[in-house]
Amino acid sequence: MAILNLDKHQFGTRLNEVLFASQPIQSIEYLYGREQELDRIEKALFAPGRHIFIYGDRGVGKSSLAATAANQYQDSSAPYIDVSCGPDSTLFSIVANIAYSAIHASRLRRTTLTKNLGFEYQFLKAELTSETTSIELHKEITSLADAVEVLREASMLHSQSPIAVLDEFDRIQDARERNLFADLLKHLGDKKVPLKLIFTGVGKSLDELLGAHQSAIRQLETIELPKLSWDARWDIVLKATDAFNLNIDKEIYIRIAAVCDGYPYYAHFITEKMLWCAYEDPQIVSSVTWEHYYAGLRNAIDSVSAELKRPYQKAVNKRGNEYEEILWATADSEYLERFSKSMYSSYEYIIKQRPGSVLLPSDKFGARLRKLKEDSFGAILVTDPNHPGLYSYREKMLRGYVRMQAEAHHIELAGEKIDQTVRQTMRIPTSAGRGYYTSSPPPGIHLGRDRRRTEDDDEIDPS
């Protein structure tokens, strides 16, 4: 398929069939780098009463993994149930939403349900014969026992292998409501309710999301989702360009892999904007160029959500280049936690590439770095209470946006260290002209903690 043979509608439609910056991936065909996690989920779901909890940083692809796994498990008679959690969500409201979705699915299936409307249905009998809403169902659920019975009835109505995704579970503000789900899981197992649940949530541990409820442990397969491996990041770019028979220089997709910081959202978003720039090029296009890449990167920066842009803008607003260069220095490492001394060496490296910029002495650099913890400067950084000089990002995904900004100014920041215990086998692409695949960082991607270290020193584990 040649890019020049497509009108705008055809191109836009096809582009959003292979890139997913705005919605979860639901097909294993486009879910790159998550084979091990999908395999774990598939095996866990064979166990009666076992459910899944996927957690990790925002933007690492939890919703896509959950949706793809649910699609794999759910039989073809009905779509899987998808419920988004919100700040005011409760256990009862979520159970009602699951039941309402199950009823809606049963109507879509056009199954004759009247033969099943006996004493078996306590809560959903009336709802099957008339229009209802989740709010009405919510009023009928007044206890945990009611919730379990509603889910039993909903699972019988929905399909042979019902499964529901409870996305963004961490958005439920009331910790007591989150904790109730541990009891729910135990009761679902005890009552042999066939419904499977997949939770997703932002957090460092399951305790943060569900509470330290030991009775829920045996009902959950917990999956902490890491950032994408290098080869998975490249796959996003390469499969998208392949869809339009476009060539792309390996140095460009290496840069995208480095800039996206392991977050699939950024890889999809930058590639989408880059390919739009290629499509709108007045010249005949057979390859993605550096001009397309940098134009697409700038468009991605302009279009990224305000939630990510606002802290950056607060930090640099009307403060010249000083704070912007310091911000870039904070993201110049594969390590998520860094001491100010290490960041200062990154700052020195950046200033050398910025004609006209003046290098601040380390004490003034440190003073400005501390300002980045304040609300008036975006509250971008936090420090470890036990190690006041050890900094990390308050919102990890913001680091990727900072890296995009540095890249747009032609500052190449360090790559990300790959966990040596989960390396994948090197794969050779079918198209030799498109470069290579590997889960290790490619040559030229700096990984050292300290920019002043020699290349020989970088071979030594700095930890």
- How far, in Å, are 364, 381, 395, 462 from residue 340 at the CA level? 12, 12, 18, 15
Beta-sheet pairing, 196-202 with 51-56:
parallel
- The whole-number pLDDT of residue 415 equals 61
| Distance in Å from the first CA to the final CA of the chain | 49
Count CB-CB contacts under 10 A for residue 319.
14
Contact 211, 182 (CB under 8 A): yes
How far is 260 from 196, CA to CA, in rounded Å? 33
pLDDT at position 182 is 87
pLDDT at 306: 86
Check if the beta carbon of residue 180 is closer than 8 Å to that of residue 94. no
C-alpha distances out from residue 185 to 25, 216, 450, Å: 26, 7, 47
pLDDT per residue as tens, the chain (463 positions): 456 678 999 999 999 999 999 899 999 999 999 999 999 999 999 999 999 999 999 999 999 999 999 999 999 888 999 999 999 999 999 999 999 888 876 544 444 444 444 445 555 654 555 555 555 677 788 899 999 999 998 998 889 999 999 999 999 999 888 888 988 998 999 999 999 999 999 876 667 666 655 566 678 999 999 999 999 999 999 999 999 999 999 999 999 999 999 999 999 999 999 999 999 999 889 999 999 999 999 999 999 988 889 999 999 987 778 899 999 999 998 788 999 999 999 999 999 999 889 999 999 999 999 999 999 999 999 998 888 889 999 999 999 999 999 999 999 887 654 333 333 332 333 333 333 334 556 655 655 546 654 333 333 333 3
Closest CA to 93 of 166, 155, 158: 166
Q: Are 61 and 142 in contact (CB under 8 A)?
A: no
82 membership: H or E segment, kind and range: strand 81-84
Per the CB < 8 A criterion, the answer to whether 334 and 417 are in contact is yes
Looking up tokens 């989408």, which residue turns up? 272
> pLDDT value at position 44?
96
Q: Decide: pTM greater than 0.75.
A: yes
| Dist. CA 376–CA 34, nearest whole Å | 39
**Contact call for residues 372 and 327 (beta carbons, < 8 A):** yes
State the pLDDT at residue 103: 82
d(CA 245, CA 449): 39
Quick check: 265 and 307 in contact, CB under 8 A?
no
∠ CA 206-55-387, nearest 5°, is: 70
List phi, psi (to 5°) of 274.
-65, -45
Please tell me the predicted confidence (pLDDT) of residue 333: 86
Q: Give pLDDT, residue 428.
A: 31
Q: In this predicted structure, what is the pLDDT of residue 121? A: 57
- Tell me the HSE value of 463 on the side-chain side, using a 13 A CA sphere: 7
Bridge partner residues of 247 (DSSP):
287
Beta-bridge partners for 391: 338, 383
pLDDT value at position 157?
86
CA separation for the pair 261, 255 (Å, rounded): 10
- Topology of 34-224 in CATH? Rossmann fold (3.40.50)
Angle between helices 264-279 and 250-259 in degrees, nearest 10: 140
| Sign of the torsion formed by the C-alpha atoms of 338, 344, 349 and 354 | positive
Q: Residue 194's Cα: distance from chain center in Å?
A: 28
State how beta strands 381-384 and 387-393 pair. antiparallel
The residues spanned by each domain of the chain are: 34-224, 230-459
Using CA atoms, how far apart are residues 350 and 410, in angstroms rounded to an integer?
A: 10
What is the DSSP secondary structure assignment for residue 229, as one 8-state letter? P
Distance CA 437, CA 440 (A): 9
